[in-house]
């Protein structure tokens, strides 16, 4: 069933376009920074300011730029399609009579969502790294106003940041997947998931609504940036727990909906 899900969803033209779009952003950003290779990016600070210093700098800056909105929107697209496309096409009834059990169907879909999410993140990282390598070269990880990171330390932190972001994207994928299972049409689920990302991001930006924001997975998505700043990175453990709790809750809801809903209803 996993192969069925991957064949029907990941090899679609729209999926490839979406992934290509994700990859295009680091490439275009790299090209715009190319004249400043080896120098600070204007007056920018943090990862954006250090982007033209090395391949790894550009990779992490790309992730910081795409992570809050574009990446989760694409992940929502992939997850809602995996959750709902076979029902939208009417194919679900023929999968059930193939026969495929509910448990097997859900397992395959969740695995496909995880693979698609990892693929979307991988596109950003790979495009950022290859572009950075071609335009800025392989140099020590530069930090503005702080000592450079050694190669080993930078790679370890980059892997930790990527893993954390993957977990964050899995949480929004789980939300989008659940909406895809709950709502009657995939388009409705996608709209609801994207609306959630946008609304949560706006809420997260309002200091007066901090008490609400801390309950949202979106609140913790950029915590990994602290890994590349002086001093200890804060909030990663809490962020990881919130994402894991979101994934677990959404998986349970999806399972309950699939088990209770009559496929012919």
Partner 1 sequence: MSAPAAPTATIRVDGLSKRYGRQQAVDRLTFAAGTGQICALLGPNGAGKTSTMRMLVGLSTPDSGTAHIAGEPVSLGAAVLRRVGVLIDGPAFVPHLNGTDNLKLLWAAARRTWPPPGLRDALDLAGLGAAIDRKVKGYSMGMKQRLMLAQALMRLPDVLILDEPANGLDPAEIRALREHLAALAKAGATVLISSHQLAEVQQVATHIVVMNRGRRVSSGPLADVLAANPAHRSLEDAYLAMTDGRHQPTDAMTEGHRDAAR
Nearest CB to partner 1, comparing residues 36 and 88: 88
Question: Does residue 100 touch partner 1 according to CB under 8 A?
Answer: yes
Cα–Cα distance list, 264 to 86, 96, 102 (Å):
13, 11, 14
Count CA atoms within 13 Å of residue 33 on its CB side: 34
Nearest to 63, CA basis, from 95, 15, 25, 102: 25
Nearest CB to partner 1, comparing residues 95 and 249: 95
> For partner 1, which residue of 17, 89, 155, 245 counts as binding (CB under 8 A)?
89
> For partner 1, which residue of 207, 208, 232, 262 counts as binding (CB under 8 A)?
262
Nearest CB to partner 1, comparing residues 21 and 94: 94
| Stretch of 95-103, 165-173, 195-203, 215-223 contacting partner 1, by CB under 8 A | 95-103
Question: Does residue 111 touch partner 1 according to CB under 8 A?
Answer: no
- Residue 143 phi/psi, 5° resolution? -125, 130
Q: How far is the CB of 79 from partner 1 (least distance, A)?
A: 18
Nearest CB to partner 1, comparing residues 94 and 138: 94
Count CA atoms within 13 Å of residue 29 on its CB side: 29
Q: How far is the CB of 3 from partner 1 (least distance, A)?
A: 7
Question: Does residue 102 touch partner 1 according to CB under 8 A?
Answer: yes
Euclidean distance between CA atoms 51 and 53, whole angstroms: 6
CB 90 within 8 A of CB 186: no
The secondary structure element, H or E, covering residue 148 is: strand 146-149
Residue count, binding to partner 1 (CB under 8 A) = 27
> For partner 1, which residue of 39, 104, 185, 210 counts as binding (CB under 8 A)?
104
Of 11-50, binders to partner 1 (CB under 8 A) are 12-13
Nearest to 161, CA basis, from 94, 219, 239: 239
Question: Does residue 208 touch partner 1 according to CB under 8 A?
Answer: no
Under DSSP, the state recorded for 218 is G
Phi-psi region of 138 (alpha: psi -120 to 50; beta: other; left: phi over 0): beta
> For partner 1, which residue of 35, 43, 97, 147 counts as binding (CB under 8 A)?
97
Question: Does residue 6 touch partner 1 according to CB under 8 A?
Answer: no
171 contacts: CB under 8 Å, gap ≥ 6: 217, 242, 243, 244, 246, 247, 250
| Stretch of 35-43, 91-99, 152-160, 165-173 contacting partner 1, by CB under 8 A | 91-99
Question: Does residue 133 touch partner 1 according to CB under 8 A?
Answer: no
Euclidean distance between CA atoms 224 and 235, whole angstroms: 9
Question: Does residue 91 touch partner 1 according to CB under 8 A?
Answer: yes
Give the interface with partner 1 as residue ranges (CB under 8 A).
1, 3-4, 7-8, 12-13, 86, 89-91, 93-102, 104-105, 262-265
């Amino acid at each position: 069933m996993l192969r069925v899900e991957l064949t029907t969803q990941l090899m679609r033209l729209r999926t490839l376009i979406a992934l290509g779009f994700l990859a295009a952003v680091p490439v275009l950003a790299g090209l715009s920074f190319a004249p400043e290779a080896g120098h600070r990016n204007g007056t920018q600070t943090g990862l954006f300011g250090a982007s033209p210093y090395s391949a790894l700098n550009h990779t992490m800056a790309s992730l910081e730029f795409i992570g809050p909105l574009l990446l989760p929107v694409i992940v929502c697209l992939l997850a809602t399609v995996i959750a709902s496309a076979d029902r939208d096409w009417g194919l679900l009834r023929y999968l059930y009579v193939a026969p495929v059990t509910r448990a097997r169907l859900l397992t395959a879909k969740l695995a496909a969502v995880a693979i698609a999410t990892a693929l979307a993140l991988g596109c950003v990282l790979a495009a950022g790294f290859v572009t950075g390598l071609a335009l800025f070269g392989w140099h020590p990880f530069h930090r503005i106003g702080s000592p450079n990171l050694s190669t080993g330390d930078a790679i370890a932190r980059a892997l930790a940041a990527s893993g954390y972001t993957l977990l964050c994207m899995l949480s929004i994928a789980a939300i989008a997947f659940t909406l895809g299972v709950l709502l009657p049409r995939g388009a409705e689920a996608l709209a609801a998931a994207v609306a959630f990302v946008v609304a949560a991001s706006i809420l997260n930006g309002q200091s007066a609504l901090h008490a609400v924001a801390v309950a949202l997975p979106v609140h913790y998505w950029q915590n990994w940036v602290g890994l590349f700043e002086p001093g200890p990175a804060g909030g990663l453990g809490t962020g990881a727990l919130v994402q894991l709790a979101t994934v677990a809750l959404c998986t349970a809801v999806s399972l309950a909906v699939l088990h209770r809903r009559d496929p012919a209803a």
